[in-house]
Chain A
Amino acid sequence: MPINVRIPTPLRKLTNEEELVQIDAKTISDAIAQLQSRFPGIQERLVDESGAVRRFVNVYVNEEDIRFLQNQETALKDGDEISIIPAIAGG
């Protein structure tokens, strides 16, 4: 089973409006690299020059914020679901 990635509205222009993308990756870093190879330009939207996830981007694996897991080193397994969500909401 592959890994599903939910693409937020602001990034769908890069994914030809696809909201659910399937990849095969071992970690979050790996997943971002794979997204980049399929949808060029998406990586720089998600991570800054140093490679860290941008401060206004939240990434979740199976509903848990990766900052409570191992950040970009968080391991992935088949069937996992990644959500990329703009941090600016709520309150």
Chain B
Amino acid sequence: MDKQTGFMKALKCRECGREYPLAATHVCEFDFGPLEVAYDYDRIKQSLTKKAIESRGKNMWRYRELLPIAGEPTVGCEVGFTPLIKADRLAKRLGIRELWIKNDTVNYPTLSFKDRVVSVALSRAKELGFTTVACASTGNLANSVAANAAAAGLKAYVFIPSDLEQGKILNSLVYGANVVGIKGHYDEVNRLCAEIAGKYGWAFVNVNMRPYYAEGSKSMGFEIIEQLGWKIPQHTVVPMASGSLLTKIQKSYQEFVKLGLVQQSRYSVHGAQATGCSPISVAQKAGLDFFKPVKPNTIAKSLAIGTPADGFYALKVMKETGGAADDVTDDEIRDGIKMLAECEGIFAETAGGVTVAVAKKLVATGKIPAMDSAVLCITGNGLKTLESVAGHVGQAREIRPSLREFESLLEAENKSTVTA
């Protein structure tokens, strides 16, 4: 392995193919296209075999050759390899033959898939000599940057919309990060961060470090294939905010095929959004290859990106793989959260509710055939978005510590069950 660049070759513009050095830079100077890491797949093929993978630790770094750092990981060494759960009870509710949940609600250390991208971005930031890291976030990313930066001894600035859920704000503050709440929605936070990133010499994980950062999402797809017994799922349903995760899931499947780790098979990647912020879903349903930016208004705050950076590419992936998109209302999102909790014992945040509810729609409309098998990517933990379900999941009944009171409560309940 090359000590300077690992298995990476260069940064390459997705639009025009111009190459750039492996620095902290994210857009092409000529057409503003996104830069992406180009790898030396011939060398990776010699090193990344099934045997090698299976002999390594149960974390996302078991696919290290396909993650863009030069040396060994130094941040988030235990991230990933979250459970893939066979969800028979939820399958029945949704009316599909076979269903799996990729459960990143228990990702380490901050309970969302963002730990994957952050461990890559911060490991690479350290390699490039940065001591201050930052991000624009709808919450989960901020939590992960704050926690992982603390553990790595890096200084962190996280920028979030000021109206985020309490859980997500406290979850960044507790690690000692500098939390800046912006009076505006995420797209405004993002615009400000693009300006700040151009001015200060910080590693902004999703701005100037974005080519490295985004690749971390592939580990979710690699794990799905390995945990399914080295198979690509027929259908994968992915929540879309910027659309980045969806594009990286497809890339992970393509890379494993290219390396001969899995057989090529037909698969579709589907996208899920909230109706209150559905630029990609609306475009997909209208058959367009471009989207119209929107101003978000949804309880799924983690998906509330009205100007999705990877919107064009997400539309392209769905088109290429025969995938579909759909979107769901706030009430449907809460129902989705409840269905997943009641059937599988998994408490997801609002984005998880979006994914479950959209999957239900896609099965109901035949876009995912009932006889097929699907994986739902559940990306974040419900304990962080308690406000969204408070008042919608019933409430605890209070009694005095008396057996008599408990028994009359049970009796009243049985009566009401019978009448119902």
Contact = CB atoms under 8 A, between A and B. Distances in A.
A60 B191 contact: yes
A90 B34 contact: no
A60 B72 CA distance: 41
Interface in A30-87: 45, 54-58, 60, 63, 65, 67-68, 83, 85-87
Nearest to A9: B198
Nearest to B303: A91
A68 to B, nearest CB: 7
B312 interface: yes
Contact of A56 (B15, B190, B197): B15
Contacts of B30: 45
A88 B309 contact: yes
B33 A56 contact: yes
Contacts of A91: 206, 214, 241-244, 305, 308-310
Contacts of B206: 89-91
B27 A88 contact: yes
Contacts of A19: 198-199
Contact of A86 (B26, B136, B293, B295): B26
A45 B30 CA distance: 6
A22 to B, nearest CB: 18
Contacts of A13: 29
A35 B208 CA distance: 25
A45 B198 contact: no
Contacts of A87: 32, 307, 309
Given A19-B198, A88-B210, 4 more contacts: A8-B194, A56-B32, A85-B194, A91-B244
A91 B309 CA distance: 7
A66 B245 CA distance: 27
Contact of A90 (B28, B199, B207, B312): B207
Contacts of B198: 8-9, 19
Main SS of chain B's interface residues? loop
B193 A88 contact: no
A55 B290 contact: yes
B135 to A, nearest CB: 9
Given A55-B290, A67-B293, A86 B191 contact: no
A63 B244 contact: no
Nearest to A67: B293
Interface string A1-23: 00000101111010000010000
Contacts of A67: 292-293
B31 A90 contact: no
B31 A89 contact: no
A45 B195 contact: no
Given A9-B198, A90-B136, A90-B207, A58 B27 contact: no
A67 to B, nearest CB: 5
Contacts of B29: 10-11, 13
Nearest to B189: A90
Nearest to A65: B293
A35 B162 CA distance: 35
Contacts of A89: 26, 136, 190, 193-194, 197, 206-207, 210, 309
B61 interface: no
A55 B293 CA distance: 12
Nearest to A48: B31
A88 B29 CA distance: 12
Contacts of B188: 63
Nearest to B290: A55
22 contacts: A6-B195, A9-B198, A10-B28, A10-B29, A45-B30, A45-B32, A54-B32, A56-B32, A60-B191, A63-B188, A83-B191, A85-B191, A87-B32, A88-B210, A89-B190, A89-B206, A89-B309, A90-B190, A91-B206, A91-B214, A91-B308, A91-B309
B195 A83 contact: yes
B195 A54 contact: no
A34 to B, nearest CB: 20
Q: Which of B194, B214, B242 lies at the interface centre, i.e. has the most chain A CB atoms within 10 A of its CB? A: B194
Contacts of A54: 31-32
A35 to B, nearest CB: 15
A65 B31 contact: no
A63 B186 CA distance: 13
